[in-house]
Every structure is written in C-alpha cells, then in structure tokens.
A and B are shown apart, each in its own frame.
Chain A
C-alpha cells in the first residue's frame, strides 16, 4: 500500500520536474521524510536517483522535438561537473548557513525578475557574443504552442558557465538546486527561450546527479523498496509531463515556475536563518 502511494506521489514529482526542468527532489524528499517517515539519507538517495529518472524520461521527447540545446548543455555541464567536484573538495570548509542564505537570496531576486518578465513569450533581438558565435550556440525548434519555428541566439556565454560552476558547488554541498539554477542561467542570463531552457536543464540534470548517485549506490543508501517505486513513478510522470509542456506557451511555464522558485527561495533562506 505504501509502495503504491510512494509511486503515485513520484508521478506528481516527475510531472512537475519534467515540465519545469527541475529534479523533483522538491516533492520527493519532503514526501518521503514527512509522510512516510524515511530518514533523510534514504530520501536524498532516492531523490538523486529520481533526478536521473526525470532527466532520462523527459530528454527522449525533448531531444526529438529539438527543444534541447545539446551544445549549450555540453558547455554548461563543464561548469556544473567542475563545481560539484569543488563542492566535494571544500565540504566542511564553508558554512552551509552562509551558502543557504546566499543562494536563497539569489533565487528570491530571480523570482522577482522573472515576475517582471512574465508577459514575454520569447526574448527579443538577442545579440550573440563572440564566444557564443564561436561555439555555435544559437539554435531553432518548432514551437507547438505558437505553431511556428523559433530561431534563437544565446548571449553572456561565460557568465552562464560561471553561474553553473557556483550552482554546482551548491548542489555538491547542499544537495539542492539541481535544475533551478540551470533554468535561471539559460533563461535569465543567457537569454534563451524558456522552453528551450527547461528542456535543456532537464537534459543536464541527469549528468549532474549521476556522480552523486554512484556514491549513494556504493554506500548502500539506495533502498530498493523506496528508490524503485520512486524512480518508476517519476519516469511515468516525466513521460506525461513532456507531452503537456510542448503544448504550453512560455508565459504559462513561467507562471508555473515562479511559485516553485519562491517556495525554494523561502525554504533556503529559512534554513540559513534557522541553522
């Protein structure tokens, strides 16, 4: 019975995660610890596995729809992977409290700037910087909601990578923000269309989570009776989520993203204050 409930909640996690480019740990960790009384290690390990499930399940559809920007993903993955590595190195040297506050405030500010941009469907007249041109980051996809091809350019290529590096450190140290900072880096900093940003974030989070997941699996933190139904549910949710997302307008995805952003910002600031 519990297995069935975990499975159903995981479907919800996969649905939200795949549409917004997030891992779904947002739903999975509190559900497992608060509703089902699992300890935090089991919950975090299951959630890390579920990030890979969301990413893998959703990426197939987004790749076929050309929403995923593989070049941007490979460029930014260098930042997240190096950041996660740094995070593992400096663990214990930095006060988590300070990091929670810093990243919480950054997210709160992002929620505000995204709210201001809530009416913009696509970024207008983005001028690619020299590096973006060199790396051929600009791309194009067919938007099912708008019924037309969308061509876009990418800018502030280095700033995006730097943000990814620091968010990789945060992910390595605090186990959070797998997807949220990626979406923000692409949407707010690099000026990509929101749908391409969430789809590309989705593609990337599996790689970011894989190193951690290997460690949890080797350590025996992955409890099959919990992580199994979670991963299966998330996979199912992700398959449905992608079908919905491609039909939504960018403005609608923003309206779903902003409350999640605010929720995570408040949660992080709270952890920073209460720690």
Chain B
C-alpha cells in the first residue's frame, strides 16, 4: 500500500521531468535560439530534484495516516537533515 503511493509520486515526478527535459533538449538541438531550451531543461531538472523530497513528504503523510508515530518522526528527521544539509552546502 505504502509502496504504491510512493511509486505513484515517483512516477509522476519522473514523467513530468522527462517531458520537460526531452522538450528542452530537442529545442537546444534544433532551435535557433537556446533560451527556451535551457529554461525547459532547467525546469525539468528542478522537478526531478524535488521528486525524492516529495517522496519523503508522501511517506510522512502515509505514516501519519497509519498513526505510525515512530516512522513519521524518522521522515521528519530526514526532511530536517536534508534542509540543513542544503543550507550548509550553500
């Protein structure tokens, strides 16, 4: 059950990212101006990067709904550590 919810989140993210990046790469290859191509690919990459983060959020939601407090806490710890990691890295 949890598996299928998370699979759906990851699938939606990867399809959206692939469409944006695919369109962008085609524009970069064949269009005369590269601005739109670069913007589309960057948008696709941003979606791709957001997907695993959304996956942890979705897992958190599932564990909360199942009243599994311990695993919901694990998801929160991961989200906070990811956020701090990105801040420290920057």
Q: Give A residues with C-beta under 8 Å from B.
A: 3, 49, 52-53, 55-57, 59-60, 63-64, 66, 68, 70-71, 74-75, 77-78, 81-82, 84-85, 88-89, 135, 172, 206-207, 209-215, 217-219, 222, 224-225, 227-229, 231-232, 235
Residue contact A70 to B78, C-beta cutoff 8 Å: no
Chain B residue with Cβ nearest A214: B86
Chain A residue with Cβ nearest B42: A224
Cβ-defined partner of A52 (8 Å) among B4, B37, B51: B51
B63-81: which have CB < 8 Å to A? 70-71, 74-75, 77-78, 81
Residue contact B89 to A232, C-beta cutoff 8 Å: no
Cβ-defined partner of B86 (8 Å) among A59, A63, A211, A222: A211
Docked Cα-Cα span, A60 to B18, in Å, equals 14
The digit string for B24-59, where 1 denotes a CB below 8 A from any CB of A, is 110011000010011001101110110111011001
Docked Cα-Cα span, A197 to B82, in Å, equals 22
Residue from B42, B49, B70 whose CB has the most chain A CB atoms within 10 Å: B49
Across-interface contacts of B84 in A (CB, < 8 A): 85
- Nearest CB of A to B51, in Å: 5
Residue contact A74 to B75, C-beta cutoff 8 Å: yes
A-B contacts, CB under 8 A, total: 148
Residue contact A84 to B85, C-beta cutoff 8 Å: yes
Residue contact A232 to B37, C-beta cutoff 8 Å: no
Residue contact A228 to B24, C-beta cutoff 8 Å: yes
Across-interface contacts of B45 in A (CB, < 8 A): 49, 217, 222, 224, 227-228, 231
**B7 in the interface (beta carbon within 8 A):** yes
Residue contact A214 to B49, C-beta cutoff 8 Å: yes
- Nearest CB of B to A216, in Å: 9
Docked Cα-Cα span, A232 to B17, in Å, equals 9
Chain B residue with Cβ nearest A239: B14
Cβ-defined partner of A207 (8 Å) among B7, B11, B38, B52: B52
- Nearest CB of A to B30, in Å: 11
- Nearest CB of A to B21, in Å: 5
Residue from B4, B17, B42, B52 whose CB has the most chain A CB atoms within 10 Å: B52
Cβ-defined partner of A64 (8 Å) among B7, B42, B88: B7
Cβ-defined partner of B7 (8 Å) among A55, A63, A81, A82: A63
Docked Cα-Cα span, A231 to B3, in Å, equals 24
Across-interface contacts of B24 in A (CB, < 8 A): 224, 228
Docked Cα-Cα span, A88 to B77, in Å, equals 17
Docked Cα-Cα span, A68 to B10, in Å, equals 13
Q: Beyond A53-B14, A56-B51, list 6 extra A-B contacts (CB 8 Å).
A: A60-B10, A70-B3, A81-B85, A89-B88, A209-B52, A232-B25
Across-interface contacts of A210 in B (CB, < 8 A): 49, 52-53, 82
Q: Please judge, given known A-B contacts A74-B59, A222-B42, whether A52 and B49 are in contact too, CB under 8 Å.
A: yes
